[in-house]
Structure 1
Amino acid sequence: MAVAASSAVPGAQSARPGARAWFVLALLCFVYVLNFLDRQLLSILAKPIQDELGVTDGQLGLISGLYFAMFYCILAIPVGWLADRTNRVRVLSLACALWSAATAACGFAQNYPQLAAARMMVGVGEAGGVPPSYAIISDYFRPGTRGTALGLFNLGPPIGSALGVAFGASVAAAYSWRDAFIWVGVIGVVTALIVWFFVREPKKGGLDEPTQAADEPVQPVAAEPAPGFTATCRMYFSNPVLRGMALASGATQFVTYALLNFATLFLMREKGMTLQEIALWYALLLGVSVSLGIFGSGWLIDRLSRRYKTAYAYLPAVGLIVAAPFFAGFVWASDWRVALLFLSVPMALNYFYLSPAVTLVQEEVRPNQRVLAGALLLLVMNLIGLGLGPTFLGAASDFFRASHPDNSLQMAFYCLLPFYGLAIVMFLGLARKIRLQSQKEVVS
């Protein structure tokens, strides 16, 4: 039986989310777990892949960063435009099947070009994963609960990364890195079929606040045709708050994706951890710390934004200010146990931007623009963060290898500290833009 949208019931605007909404959220979160698990397997299994295929740090940075991001980010725009006009659940299901099949293909790669081609196809599929999910969840949860719902959904990356570390490292240690890719791909194809048959497309805008004229009874939000592609893009990039949030989040992701894509290799090669220790200790740290950061920021933003809209910017800024010195401690520590203790703080606070960013965009645009607006947010964030962060770090490591052969990645990680400062300044600037926009709205 398909799951019906909770918006189908009159008066759902005032009701708490029902069991069906939570079921859909849980299933979409699992899809996101697979999305990120597929994406992170390459970095988790970097050392055995390097040992067998002879891939350099710079080449790893390219296929996990720029090459992947070119397809993932750019194709998310037409996919978002299509999903706003068609069935978002069907788009998500097909995308999940495609990226999962491409992940399995990574396990059969015999050389770097074949691995690169398979990773690009993973990016093609994942372009249709997150933006439709943002919009579907926003139509299953009313305003005032979306920050928490999207915060729970955004637990997909830490859970996916933690499971990827635990599963990928354990399988690679016991069998082969190839088996890890193949099994994860098979699980993803099965999940795509479950989404297709058990999730129903919710009504667009069905749970948004109703409109009311001064002398008229409350009227529910009427369904409207989706605005044109160009009109939505123009609206998004002409809005200083939406534009500023995307750029500040991109600067943050420059650090987070560089860290995620090279932390495992750094801990094994320069801190002395084994695959078995990675599968246990690093997996636990990643899952717990990032989950606390993402869910905690979603819970906080639902409460703080009711009184202070600038919380969308100040919350990420404060998180980064506290995280930066602990990140430096992680890079500096000579023992992997001490390094992990330091890393637990930035692994949580680095992600204080994600739930505020997604919630702000979903609240600021019209219901029939949510998928494309979410895709535009991801385009900017991921082109900067996912596309350039790992690419920069891998290239920096190759650069330092001649002068620092034993700790080239450590030197490269130190180069990320200025980007903490850049992201903090950008979020503080965003707070000012939000304040000015709110003042204009009050005056008008």
Structure 2
Amino acid sequence: MKARSVITLFATAYVLSFVDRQILALLIGPVKADLGLSDFQFALLNGLAFALFYSVLGLPVAALADRMPRPPILASGVALWSVATIGCGFSSNFWQLFACRTCVGIGEAALVPAVYSFLADIVPPARLGRTLALFSLGSFVGAGLAFLCGGMVLAALHDATSWHGIAGWKLCFMAVGLPGLPLALSIALGVREPAGRVYAQTGHAAGPNPSAWAAPRYMARHWKFFTLHFLGYSCTAIILFSLMSWTPALLGRGRHFSHQDVGLVMGLIAIVCGCGGVYTSGRLIDLLASRGHADAPARVGLTGAVAAPLFLLAALSMSANVAFVLLLAVAFFFASFPMPPSALVVQQRVPKALRAQFSATLLLCNAMIGLSGGSMLIGYLDDHVFRTAGGVASSLGWVVAGAAVVSALCIAATRPYLRNPEPANG
């Protein structure tokens, strides 16, 4: 299979992964009403249930991806998260839905680290920035499709009513989980490892196979840089995931949008602004790098970390819905900027045999700090601190503003390291 076809399959998998993980954010109203959940419990389902095993299992799965053929790992992951998403539609209480969301996270743990290392093997370095950016588009296409399709299904079923005894939100889970099964089969049958790649079980080596302690030792030698990198971009993940997870509640509660309108607004913003931001980010990195700026990824990531919260806070101050949506769209555009540089730096500055494990470490930090920690903090503040009708807006604003300060400081501090090539192959 040609490289372009492989990239298309991987991008499709990434799209479906975000459809399956993001659909819950749109369904916050009917799920809370049907299962009797608080905002904090919903945050657990939307954040911790998914992120816990997604992040923890990402490390051993990435180690396997550095040592074994990656297509079977990828196909198994796609199949597992698809079945688990369908299982969400059969859940009748908090713990059943929590267990299914956990399995979604387990399946998705197999995707990104293996894909990142695979792309770095088949794409020339000069094009890697834009390729990773194009792959990252899948997250926003998937989130947008989840919002659009979910909103239409709920509208067709008159929000929370049922179809043949099945609640509308359950049908949404079943519908978005099904397409992953044929995709898993396509990856298993159609994708092959690049020629000459080293993996442990063959006995054929183009180079030494890394020991189990190679990644921790490399991390320890360059701990200052990687601490700043992982923490900085995890805080940008708080900004992005908080917007994606809690803006639907903000539109529905504070702005009184219908489920269909929420799905339409969020879907278009995610697809147009999210994809536009990621693509612009990747092109900017390549452009700045071609002009000799070794710290190009940090410059682009820092731009997003600073600009996105400013436009969000401006949006939250607007009483007119049109102005609010327009400023929110710009905030999404810049919130997507840090995605390509966070991944690109790892691929460029980590030895080839350790790329998947370091990508998994980045995803662990993003999931536990960005997705789980940020979402739970907003849910807690909304339940216990800002308990008025506009509490979601206050909680979202404070959490995003705090994350922006930390992320900007950390990313700015990585710039001297990026100008020094030593950590890349040390």
In 2, the alpha carbon distance for the partners of 1:70 and 1:280 equals 30
Q: TM-score, normalised by structure 2?
A: 0.91
> Percent identical across equivalent pairs?
32
In 1, the alpha carbon distance for the partners of 2:88 and 2:412 equals 41
RMSD: 1.9
My pick for the range that moved more, 103-112 or 61-70, is 61-70
Matching of residue 262 in structure 1 with residue 246 in structure 2: yes
Aligned with 2:322 (options 334, 337, 344)? 337
Question: Residue 276 of structure 2 aligns to which amino acid in structure 1?
Answer: L
Matching of residue 227 in structure 1 with residue 219 in structure 2: no
Question: Residue 379 of structure 2 aligns to which amino acid in structure 1?
Answer: G
Matching of residue 351 in structure 1 with residue 351 in structure 2: no
Map 1:353-432 to 2 at 5 A: 353-402=338-387, 404=388, 406-416=389-399, 417-432=401-416
Question: Residue 89 of structure 2 aligns to which amino acid in structure 1?
Answer: G
Shift of 1:84: 1.1
Matching of residue 137 in structure 1 with residue 123 in structure 2: no
When residues 300 and 274 of structure 1 are mapped into structure 2, their CA distance, relative to the original with a 3 A threshold, is same
Asked if 1 retains the 8 angstrom alpha-carbon contact of 2:71 and 2:187, the reply is: yes
Partner of 1:59: 41
Q: Report the secondary structure of 1:144's partner residue.
A: helix
Could you list the per-position Cα deviations for residues 398-430 of structure 1 after superposition, in whole angstroms to 9, with x for gaps in the alignment? 11354x2x1111121121212212211111111
Question: Residue 232 of structure 1 aligns to which amino acid in structure 2?
Answer: A
In 2, the alpha carbon distance for the partners of 1:188 and 1:363 equals 31
Partner of 2:164: none
Map 1:159-170 to 2 at 5 A: 159-170=141-152
My pick for the range that moved more, 239-248 or 290-299, is 239-248
Shift of 1:57: 0.8
Asked if 2 retains the 8 angstrom alpha-carbon contact of 1:106 and 1:181, the reply is: yes
Q: TM-score, normalised by structure 1?
A: 0.87
Map 1:14-413 to 2 at 5 A: 20-175=2-157, 176-203=168-195, 223-239=206-222, 240-306=224-290, 307-402=292-387, 404=388, 406-413=389-396
In 2, the alpha carbon distance for the partners of 1:237 and 1:382 equals 22
Shift of 1:32: 0.2
Query: Where does the alignment leave 5 or more consecutive residues of structure 2 unmatched?
Result: 158-167, 199-204
In 2, the alpha carbon distance for the partners of 1:230 and 1:173 equals 53
Shift of 1:204: 6.2
Q: How many residues align?
A: 406
Question: Residue 397 of structure 1 aligns to which amino acid in structure 2?
Answer: D
When residues 204 and 102 of structure 1 are mapped into structure 2, their CA distance, relative to the original with a 3 A threshold, is farther
Shift of 1:236: 2.8
Asked if 2 retains the 8 angstrom alpha-carbon contact of 1:267 and 1:336, the reply is: no
Shift of 1:179: 1.0
When residues 308 and 272 of structure 1 are mapped into structure 2, their CA distance, relative to the original with a 3 A threshold, is same
Q: Report the secondary structure of 1:68's partner residue.
A: helix
My pick for the range that moved more, 413-422 or 21-30, is 413-422
Shift of 1:312: 1.5
Query: Where does the alignment leave 5 or more consecutive residues of structure 1 unmatched?
Result: 4-19, 207-221
In 2, the alpha carbon distance for the partners of 1:46 and 1:281 equals 16
When residues 166 and 78 of structure 1 are mapped into structure 2, their CA distance, relative to the original with a 3 A threshold, is same
Shift of 1:205: 6.4
In 1, the alpha carbon distance for the partners of 2:280 and 2:323 equals 25
Shift of 1:367: 2.2
My pick for the range that moved more, 224-233 or 247-256, is 224-233
Partner of 1:12: none
